[in-house]
Structure 1
């Protein structure tokens, strides 16, 4: 019945810091839609932003910043991702480590966004 994820919603406290992290550090593209709403686009998906206390309806029952644990598959080897993260001043908190992803084995690093959501960036392993 379900084919793929279209978008998810990230509740943040500081939209400027969030946009900077996801665009400058992770390479996503900022998109504005609707009545000034913001989204972060990557591949065929996007992350819509809600600002805490100014969420759009309908919304999650308890939207809170810092509650997400997201895993992204990189479009390049993980060693290149690590170099880019280090160059951008990102703090890798763990990894690289071997994990199991949705379609098989992955190799991952972990960092946190400005709201302390856990961000995992991975490469698929053969």
Structure 2
């Protein structure tokens, strides 16, 4: 029944720091769009064929998760470059690595990963297929 993930929603308490991390550090593209009921301007972070919609804590769009809170996500992204290049980019951005590189089991095969935390303390795993 389900084919793939289209988007997910990230609730942030620090929208500017959130956008900076996902665009400057991870290389995603910021997109503004009109959506919701009533239609309002919203923001999303695009990468590949997916996106992350941004909700600001206390100003979430309806409908929303039952308990939308910053820092509750644990996400794994497959990098478009070798993991060593990811590590170098994180070091250049002075973004601390929490753990890794370590071997893990991904959705389709083994992966090698590093872990970081975004400005809301969500756990972000960045991986390469091995």
- Scaled by the length of structure 1, the TM-score of the pair is 0.98
* Among candidates 81, 104, 108, match of residue 113 of structure 2: 108
Q: Is the partner of 2:114 in helix, strand or coil?
A: strand
Deviation at residue 8 of structure 1 after TM alignment: 0.1
Q: Is the partner of 1:2 in helix, strand or coil?
A: coil
Aligned to 1:82: 87
The equivalences for 1:1-126 within 5 A come to 1-34=1-34, 35-125=40-130
Deviation at residue 75 of structure 1 after TM alignment: 0.5
Q: Where do 4+ consecutive residues of structure 1 move more than 6 Å?
A: none
- Scaled by the length of structure 2, the TM-score of the pair is 0.95
Q: Is the partner of 2:120 in helix, strand or coil?
A: coil
Deviation at residue 49 of structure 1 after TM alignment: 0.3
Deviation at residue 99 of structure 1 after TM alignment: 0.2
Distance (whole Å) between structure 2 residues aligned to residue 112 and residue 14 of structure 1? 14
Segments of 5+ residues of structure 2 without an aligned counterpart are 35-39
Deviation at residue 51 of structure 1 after TM alignment: 0.3
